[in-house]
Amino acid sequence: MKLLEDRIRRDGKIRENGTILKVDSFLNHQMDVALFNQMGKEFFRLFGGEGVTKLLTVEASGIAVACIAGQYFDVPVIFAKKSKTKNIDGGVYTAPVESFTHGGVYNVMVAKEFLQPGDRVLLIDDFLANGAALEGLISIVAQAGGEVVGAGVCIEKAFQPGGERLREKGFRIEALARISSMSETGIEFC
Ligand code: 5GP
């Protein structure tokens, strides 16, 4: 999506020797709602024919983009909550996720009442890097007996293995901007 690529080129900041892209001026701290609206429309163009019944994301950065996309899909939007607690009561589906940006492992959880067998779930997130966040969400949908129709992410760092691994497993992964490489001197898109 050219609009997003142009914005990343203009306002993205590269950190940690070219491994982390900071987009907090328009995506995950200050938010450009007009851009989110175009991204939501694009996710609907890509997945609107898939009979999606729920959108599922993970707090916090995925929530805004999923909500705006949800207005196009006209289905409930669920966000998985993050918890460091190991003891979680029986009313939730839960999966461990290794955090790329913060290190360590946290659990994601969704109350059982919000996902049912037969649900056709589209996963939404801001970034795809190693794929741990999406794999946690995939596990939750599987526990509920639902089906993952695919994942829509705003930015895929294609030089990390998550996207390829998930596509090899047969999941449809659509990224609105796919970065093949980045360094202090610039960003290349696939
Ligand atoms: P993964 O689980 O695919 O390794 O990483 C996905 C999560 O890590 C995303 O939800 C996002 O919050 C965070 N993340 C991964 N890479 C980046 C990055 O380069 N920049 C930012 N801002 N967040 C990232």
Pocket residue to mutate for ligand 1, from 82, 100, 154, 171, most atoms within 8 A of Cβ: 100
Residue 87: predicted pLDDT: 60
Residue 86: predicted pLDDT: 61
| CA dihedral sign of residues 151, 167, 138, 142 | positive
pTM (2 d.p.): 0.95
Beta strands in the chain (DSSP E): 13-15, 20-22, 54-58, 77-83, 92-98, 105-111, 120-128, 147-157, 173-183, 186-189
**CB proximity list for 7: less than 8 A, separation 6 or greater:** 26, 32, 35
Residue-wise pLDDT tens digits, 36-90: 999 999 999 999 999 999 999 999 999 999 999 999 999 999 999 998 666 666 7
The whole-number mean pLDDT for each consecutive block of 10 residues of the chain, a chain of 190 residues, reads: 97 92 97 98 98 97 97 98 73 91 88 96 98 98 98 98 98 98 92
Residues with CB under 6 A from ligand 1: 20-23, 28, 61, 100-101, 125-133, 157, 162
